[in-house]
Structure 1
């Protein structure tokens, strides 16, 4: 097991098997590496020029030190100009993949504030992630046994206090990645519900005596039918694996707020009778990422002992083509009694979220946040790295500020008044699930979800773009599942625990 420690030691004198330093665009080493720069002296500029390191983000170079410093290997990572926590997090992730056979690593990146220390630890752990569960001959583990963050602030209380939260967030993100990367045949709704229950049990076992525990209740298809959860039952009707609704509760005695988290958990999305093109189905195991984020954020809050009551709902179903699959033209009734005309079986996420949001409202929280890989429209609008955030202005601002602090890009999107007319356009039911108009589909979906929030303060995160990295690893993002949303939700919960909403943000994180 890898251990992390903070030390004030000189990066030039440490005997770690590898030392990681940052490089700025002007060809000088970043703060934290001054002793290494002094050890190389005038030779440093020539060395950087020879190996072509200019300090640009994404650059990585490994240099044998030949005794110039105590460590045998120097790892240079580009930071870009005026690096902040996001730049440091990405650089640390790049370094983790570059150091493949070292038993100990010293990270001499900028780390003189709690935010930077968190970025270094999170970046290194997340960047070194690989999903090898199904490899018959997985590569020999190369994670160092010891990772030391070198910082002159190592003895400051607020800096040392940043280590545990960084570890907790990294654990939660990595666990979410594992779930999202698991093949859909092995993570059906019942199997996912079992995995959540096991994760809750493991988390509770690790909590200190007297700490508030997380409680889990799994509602199976029979219970869902008794309750009248028509959305979940309709979406899951075409699958041999029946739907589940997993409800988590975390209720610390000193809670200063009560929040509800709702996550979409479509374990595989074929599109139903509106069958997806083959290429679009290739990564549809990712469609449960919202549920994974909600569960892992709740468990992280319990590990951190945050004084926030959390009611969390993971709506799990598999959208398949079967003899009981829902049809275009069907009308279903959600848990709260709203009738919905189904016109597109590939717009299933909003249907399972409708039941879960109804249940969340019934718990009477102060605020509701839902997260879902909801619409391809949002990915078209914002690309594959940025989530869209919609809802009440105040809650949206809080979530955007949390995403900025967590290093996850997000952007505010509107819910225009015209969408209200569109979602009420059905002639046979209270709401139209889909209206066939090509434009603004992500905004339509958000307006639809708003109908199930009971007028409570609410924000909706559409993470269809950034939840799965189809390209090569970059920064702290591995290929495949990114775990997007976990860090943002934990940061938002921490801001709520502090008793004050986070400041407004107006652009990408």
Structure 2
């Protein structure tokens, strides 16, 4: 797990390397000088036209030994009337990148310059959004590099958040605590997804998941292949039978006293996906270490729900397997029984994620959840349909889909709903089994994946499927997310869903 910066709420400035000042634009897209000691500096920048206060634009100015800091960082936020929590998060990401490049050790954020921006509709949550964006930016995966320093903070190590309003200190401290907790849990998802496949095996994630659950005070259970077989999860086992590494089912159960509702989160955990007998092309196959990001996302979400002490019960069920070709691997044309009692003809062994999820979804429903959500890097077709700016959403419940859509927009972990018309199941009908796992004609791949999973949802259970194949990694267009590797997307949205459902 990464080492995060230290955040502290303060009521007065102290010595630091950099003072952070927020600056908005006027109607002419020129910077508006803030009240206070930095108005003169912004006036100079305005006259020089070097700084327009565009969103994310940073002006780094030496103070020449005057004041509490050696430098000031003026952070542009654009038009105040258009400012949102997401824009503030993104501004924090831009700032973190600049401060890290400048090798700055300590920073103090002048919160009153953010709260005092004229024209902002509601500024109350903006300091928390900035702290969250800054903390989410403080991530680097370098544990396997000779000169890697995973125990050191990536970027500024000390960040003070200063507001002269003493009555706000406790509220501000709460925002900072939540920002760090959020970044901590998102980093678990990122770390797991980034783990090289020779290290990140089913056994590794079962062991790490158990350790983290115990550390967070959450119940945990791990099923090995003997226990999985007793559960009649033979479709899950079929996917891993070409690997020497044993399948694992990890169940992390956050169950607070008096919980009124139960939320089941189910994640696909293919620790490396070669495609099996239906082997993938070699180009970019190394990215298939990320094929367990659905499980990693659910681990981060249940940990964040627990840290926030949400009132609902949250059960995360994560199915881990390695999809490899060898003489014992499952082959196309195989017909396998599922835990739900339905048979599946395996047409394509590279459509394996839905196979492990079928059994995992059925297992999760034994907890009698009020709602079930699964996440998976399921289909390349999702990227063709939606690109990298949102995940695919499919559901059997319009109200549930609408709520996930709303929260996705609120947290900027966006989703877009795709239809599950019954006609799509016609493409999955088999001559030899109750259904087949793929149609192999290249059409409607993402929807067909969702339609397959829907067959394993019991009557009356609200369910949603998130296809995160193209939002799980390489989301560097968002400034507070890593440019390469795992993004940690959807952890925040799912944890908020768990709290508000």
TM-score norm. by structure 2 comes to 0.89
- Cα deviation, 1:418-440, whole Å, max 9, x if unaligned, reads 212223x1111111111123221
Secondary structure at the residue paired with 1:155? helix
Aligned residue-pair number: 478
Asked if residue 120 in structure 1 is aligned to residue 130 in structure 2, the reply is: yes
Gaps of 5+ in 2: 116-121
Distance 1:405 1:152 in 2: 29
Which stretch of structure 1 is more off in the superposition, 179-188 or 157-166?
157-166
Contact 2:5 2:138 in 1 (8 A): no
Query: Structure 1 71/159 Cα, relative in aligned 2: closer, same or farther at 3 Å?
Result: closer
Asked if residue 148 in structure 1 is aligned to residue 153 in structure 2, the reply is: no
Distance 2:375 2:174 in 1: 29
Post-superposition offset of 1:403: 1.9
Gaps of 5+ in 1: 205-213, 497-509
Contact 2:475 2:482 in 1 (8 A): no
Asked if residue 328 in structure 1 is aligned to residue 332 in structure 2, the reply is: yes
Distance 2:162 2:418 in 1: 40
Asked if residue 344 in structure 1 is aligned to residue 357 in structure 2, the reply is: no
Distance 2:463 2:230 in 1: 28
What residue number does 1:383 align with?
Answer: 387
Post-superposition offset of 1:310: 1.6
- Cα deviation, 1:92-139, whole Å, max 9, x if unaligned, reads 112112213333212246357453233111111111211110110126
- Cα deviation, 1:154-193, whole Å, max 9, x if unaligned, reads 6336554333322221110011111111101001111111
What residue number does 2:39 align with?
Answer: 38
Distance 1:475 1:29 in 2: 25
What residue number does 1:461 align with?
Answer: 466
Distance 1:61 1:141 in 2: 24
Contact 2:23 2:76 in 1 (8 A): yes
Asked if residue 198 in structure 1 is aligned to residue 211 in structure 2, the reply is: yes
What residue number does 1:95 align with?
Answer: 95
1:54-69 to structure 2, matched below 5 A, reads: 54-67=52-65, 69=67
What residue number does 1:414 align with?
Answer: 419
Which stretch of structure 1 is more off in the superposition, 283-292 or 473-482?
473-482
Contact 1:60 1:95 in 2 (8 A): yes
1:84-483 to structure 2, matched below 5 A, reads: 84-100=84-100, 101-108=103-110, 110=114, 113=123, 115-138=125-148, 141=153, 143-151=155-163, 155-156=167-168, 158-204=171-217, 214-391=218-395, 392-423=397-428, 425-455=429-459, 456-469=461-474, 474-483=479-488
Distance 2:486 2:166 in 1: 33
TM-score norm. by structure 1 comes to 0.88
Query: Structure 1 153/477 Cα, relative in aligned 2: closer, same or farther at 3 Å?
Result: farther
What residue number does 1:7 align with?
Answer: 10
Contact 1:16 1:104 in 2 (8 A): yes
Secondary structure at the residue paired with 2:36? helix
Post-superposition offset of 1:463: 0.6
- Cα deviation, 1:446-485, whole Å, max 9, x if unaligned, reads 1111111113001111111111117688334342111112
Distance 1:335 1:114 in 2: 49
Contact 2:20 2:72 in 1 (8 A): yes
User: What is the root-mean-square deviation in Å for CA atoms of aligned residues?
Assistant: 2.2
Asked if residue 17 in structure 1 is aligned to residue 17 in structure 2, the reply is: yes
Secondary structure at the residue paired with 1:123? helix
Post-superposition offset of 1:151: 4.3
Post-superposition offset of 1:37: 4.3
What residue number does 2:119 align with?
Answer: none
Post-superposition offset of 1:62: 2.3
